[in-house]
Chains A and B, each alone.
Chain A
């Protein structure tokens, strides 16, 4: 009967320990459940060790009793018992130290991880802000629409430029026609001047004849001779004016010819270059608009990715809080293992007393009862009740 109970205790403790290790390694069970299992396994194993070691000692005692004196066997059994209990106590101390090292490692690693995630979050926020700043112009209009405004304005200006160029070409052609008309008019003036010069010559000739006739008339023709001289003088002045006008008209003709050459040069230019340039610039502007639209799309995507990174960092921050939960669970475990260690100390000292046949003192029994009760309370007052890393409830009073 006793051996069956011992078997279940040993077997149960081992299974719980193995299950804890599998659960921990595989992360299939919540952390709190794993740690609770581990403590239970530890306690059960310790208890089993206590019983088993005692039983083993008894069996050893039975086996040896047939061959050695009974007083020597009693001493040997006591040594084995005490050694087993001391080793269990030592293991409790080692487990406590290991748990503290476990806490220390997490305490060192997690702040670095949190710091890294914080930097990632800041980088993502900066990236998002930059994307937004590129997309939005200072007055709140989207950059893309501002850029399209620039493209439209450039196209409109270029169209006006081409229209003016074509218009100028047409005006040049008109000027050529008008210059031709002016040339014709100037030629007509030259003909009129020739008539004037001809009249002047005839007048001069008439005045000369009149002077001759006046001389022949003698004293009676003296007055007439004066008139004839005045007429001749007027004829010569007319001729001089005619020459001056002819000279001026020659200058005008020369100027008109120069203007005609310039206007011909303007009017004769091929206006297709302006139209071709417009087509090319239109094409370039459309490509720029497409590139701008593409960049706008990429910036939007970049903003979306930055938002996603922030979301991932938030989830990482939630998950990284496992350190605080595990730390509290480990503290609870340390307290429980320390109590188990103290109980084992009570057992080892009590065992020595029992072996002398004096029995446990009432103080020892009270102390064991208190520690057992404290162990039960620590199990109930576990500070962490969460079974997973999903965010906890929120309640406003």
Chain B
């Protein structure tokens, strides 16, 4: 059975590109348009991996990670940040919130696949 990944980004084109890249490798993708939408979807469905942007309306990525890590089922689920933010300070905040890794945009589809395979197989 295909592993399901939650892709959270307020940019429709980024969601589109992430979905098409990961679907081509056989993963199933559910999209969320911001942190709040991502949190709601994480509560109603289980995912093998969450891939999230940082700067989004309603709820940013790091706030969403903090909320999701409070859910027992998501204690060990990998969560990767995919964002234009690249400062060390922001990365430290992400790590402290429970992020598994940090990918700076723009992403190379093959590199993204390599990381996802490394994290969830």
Q: Say whether A168 faces chain B, with CB atoms less than 8 Å apart.
A: no
Contact of A386 with B104 at beta-carbon distance under 8 Å, contacts A118-B20, A317-B109, A395-B91 already known: yes
A125 within 8 A of B: yes
- Residues of A294-323 at the interface with B, using a CB-CB cut-off of 8 Å, are 314, 317-323
Tell me if A163 is interfacial: C-beta within 8 Å of chain B: no
Verify B101–A314 contact, CB threshold 8 A.
Answer: no
Residues of A contacting B24 with CB < 8 Å?
Answer: 121, 125
A325 pairs with B84, CB closer than 8 A: yes
8 Å CB contact of A392 from B11, B101, B105, B110: B105
- A111 on the B face (CB < 8 A): yes
Interface string of A27-55 (1 = CB under 8 A from B): 00000000000000000000000000000
Cβ contact within 8 Å between B111 and A391: yes
Alpha-carbon separation in the docked complex, A17 to B118 (Å): 47
B21 close to chain A: CB less than 8 A: yes
Is A324's CB under 8 angstroms from B11's CB? Answer: yes
B27 on the interface (CB 8 Å rule)? no
**Cβ of A389: which chain B residues have Cβ within 8 Å of it?**
106
- Report how far A396 CA is from B111 CA in the complex, Å: 13
Partner of A397, one of B21, B54, B102: B102
Q: How far is the CB of B68 from chain A (nearest CB, A)?
A: 16
A386 with B84: CB separation less than 8 A: yes
Which residues of chain A come closer than 8 Å to B21, judged between CB atoms?
A: 317
B48 interface contact, C-beta 8 A: no
Interface band, chain B: 20 to 34
Inter-chain contacts of B103 with A (CB < 8 A): 392-395
Nearest B residue (CB) for A396: B101
**Interface hits, A72-120 → B, CB 8 Å:** 107, 110-111, 114-115, 118
Beta-carbon contact of A386 and B102 below 8 Å: no
Structural contact, B101 and A397, CB atoms closer than 8 A: yes
- Is the CB–CB distance between A395 and B102 below 8 Å? yes
- Contact present for B13 and A323 (CB under 8 Å): yes
A396 B100 Cβ-Cβ under 8 A: yes
Q: Which residues of A contact B119 (CB under 8 A)?
A: 396
Please tell me the number of chain A residues within 8 Å of chain B, measured between CB atoms. 33
Interface residues of A in 116-135 (CB under 8 A from B): 118, 121, 125
Q: Are A114 and B16 in contact (CB under 8 A)?
A: yes
Cβ of B85 < 8 Å from any Cβ of A? yes
Instruction: Identify which of A107, A114, A314, A324 contacts B105 (C-beta below 8 A).
Output: A324
Which residues of A lie under 8 Å from residue B85 when comparing CB positions?
383, 385
In the complex the two chains form, is B91's CB within 8 Å of A327's CB? Answer: no
Contacts of A385 in B (CB 8 A): 84-87
Inter-chain contacts of B104 with A (CB < 8 A): 386, 392-394
Task: Report the minimal beta-carbon distance from A319 to chain B, rounded to whole angstroms.
Answer: 7
* Residue contact A115 to B16, C-beta cutoff 8 Å: yes
The reply to whether A107 and B12 contact each other, CB–CB distance below 8 Å, is yes
Bound CA span A76–B94, Å: 58
List residues 87-121 of chain B with CB under 8 A from any CB of chain A: 87, 91, 95, 99-111, 115, 118-119
Cβ of A328 within 8 Å of any chain B Cβ, yes or no, is yes
Most chain A CB within 10 A, of B11, B17, B101, is at: B17
Inter-chain contact A325/B55, CB cutoff 8 Å: no
Binding site for B on A (CB under 8 A): 107, 110-111, 114-115, 118, 121, 125, 314, 317-325, 327-328, 383-386, 389-397
Please, could you name 14 A-B residue pairs with CB atoms under 8 Å apart, sorted by A? A107-B12, A118-B16, A318-B107, A320-B13, A321-B17, A324-B13, A324-B84, A324-B106, A383-B54, A392-B107, A394-B103, A396-B100, A396-B118, A396-B119
Kindly list the 8 A-B residue pairs having the minimum CB-CB distance in the complex, ordered from nearest: A392-B104, A321-B106, A391-B108, A396-B101, A110-B13, A324-B11, A314-B109, A118-B20
